[in-house]
């Protein structure tokens, strides 16, 4: 029925073409935010009948006209996106979709990673899997001392004394602590720098392992709302991310407790803490919420540090960060990052 169609690559710089995709997706309760690398659409008699987008490893916004569903067009959309991913050197794929749509993608060879009913399902296919990831991090954690282990997931943009206070408490209450640093390149401080600052700031502890969080924790696949504040999908994504941690990552690492700082300011992070508080105990994992430490009557936060950097108030910055972070900020290597902070008002 749909064999006579045109496949077109959408020019993401064209308002007219992007608006056409956005209008088509409205009928499927999907939004097009433009945070994609590649978008295609299928047309029949100049009428859009299907579309799909690629954002890194994530296949997004896949929709097929109701009158053509069941005719195999979804498979064609997915195949085209995978081919484009392969041309970009990407051979692992995620699909984040509604539970009702999951069978359509499992029929195409995708494996369900986790779901948060009635909100969302995350599926994957290609080279690599959640099981491979868990084996890798378990091997890395094998040399930690035996006994109760705790985990923290941190962005550290940059690493502050507030972060260190929460981790120090975890260190004092557990035999081993694993700190997972968010790997997404969506922050003003690059991932490599953030990872370096956390490792240097925690070097005094011999029972702490600092690892990249990878693609299954607070990533563009599991938790895009962390980087796109205010989306209606926040609850779905926070609960899905918490479920993946509880079902896969915590057992692989032998985690019995997760530590977080309280969050009085950011509604997204506060909602994430609420999801953790609900889901982790169902899997036998405790959640420890530590009040933020303060100085001068204000909570220490990375966002406050960045604002002080914009103001060139380096004496105040020095009071909020470990020596290792401050040393980096004073180094020539930090100058491009500082310039980027001063040119941006991003919350990340």
Question: Which of 97, 43, 100 shows the shortest CA–CA distance to 73?
Answer: 43
Beta strands in the chain (DSSP E): 6-9, 38-44, 47-55, 58-64, 92-97, 111-116, 120-126, 149-154, 176-181, 208-212, 255-261, 286-290, 294-295, 298-299
Binning pLDDT at 50, 70 and 90, where does residue 118 land?
A: confident
Question: Which of 227, 212, 173, 205 shows the shortest CA–CA distance to 322?
Answer: 205
Sign, CA torsion 311/313/316/320: positive
Binning pLDDT at 50, 70 and 90, where does residue 29 land?
A: confident
pLDDT tens by residue, 51-87: 999 999 999 999 999 988 877 899 999 999 999 999 9
Instruction: Show the domains of the chain with their CATH numbers.
Output: 6-128 (3.40.630.30), 141-342 (3.40.50.620)
Q: Give the per-residue pLDDT at 348.
A: 62
pLDDT tens by residue, 178-227: 999 999 998 999 999 999 999 999 999 999 999 999 999 988 888 765 55
Q: Give the per-residue pLDDT at 232.
A: 54
């Amino acid at each position: 029925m749909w064999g006579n169609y045109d496949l077109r690559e959408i020019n993401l710089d064209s308002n007219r073409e992007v608006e056409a995709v956005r209008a088509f997706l409205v009928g499927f309760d999907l939004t097009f935010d433009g945070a994609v690398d590649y978008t295609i659409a299928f047309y029949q008699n100049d009428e859009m009948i299907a579309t799909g987008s690629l954002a890194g490893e994530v296949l997004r916004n896949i929709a097929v006209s109701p009158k053509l569903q069941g005719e195999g067009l979804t498979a064609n959309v997915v195949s085209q996106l995978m081919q484009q991913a392969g041309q970009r050197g990407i051979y692992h794929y995620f699909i984040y979709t509604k539970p009702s749509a999951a069978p359509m993608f499992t029929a195409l060879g995708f494996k369900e990673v986790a779901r948060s009913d009635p909100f969302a399902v995350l599926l994957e296919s290609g080279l690599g899997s959640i099981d491979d990831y868990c084996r890798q991090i378990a091997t890395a954690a094998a040399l930690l001392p035996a006994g109760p282990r705790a985990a923290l997931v941190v962005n550290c943009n940059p690493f502050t004394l507030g972060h260190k206070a929460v981790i120090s408490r975890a260190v004092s209450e557990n035999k081993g602590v694993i700190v997972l640093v968010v790997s997404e390149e969506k922050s003003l401080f690059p991932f490599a720098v953030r990872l370096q600052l956390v490792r240097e700031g925690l070097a005094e502890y011999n029972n702490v392992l600092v690892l990249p969080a990878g693609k299954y924790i607070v990533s563009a696949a599991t938790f895009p709302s962390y980087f796109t504040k205010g989306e209606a999908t926040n609850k779905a994504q926070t609960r899905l991310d918490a479920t993946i941690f509880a079902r896969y990552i915590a057992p692989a690492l032998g985690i019995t407790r997760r530590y977080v700082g309280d969050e009085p300011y950011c509604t997204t992070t506060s909602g994430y803490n609420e999801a953790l508080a609900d889901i982790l105990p169902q899997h036998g994992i405790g959640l420890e919420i530590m009040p933020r430490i303060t100085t001068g009557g204000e909570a220490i936060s990375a966002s406050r540090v960045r604002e002080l950097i914009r103001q060139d108030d380096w004496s105040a910055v020095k009071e909020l960060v470990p020596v290792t972070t401050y040393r980096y900020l004073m180094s020539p290597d930090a100058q491009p990052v500082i310039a980027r902070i001063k040119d941006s008002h991003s919350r990340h």
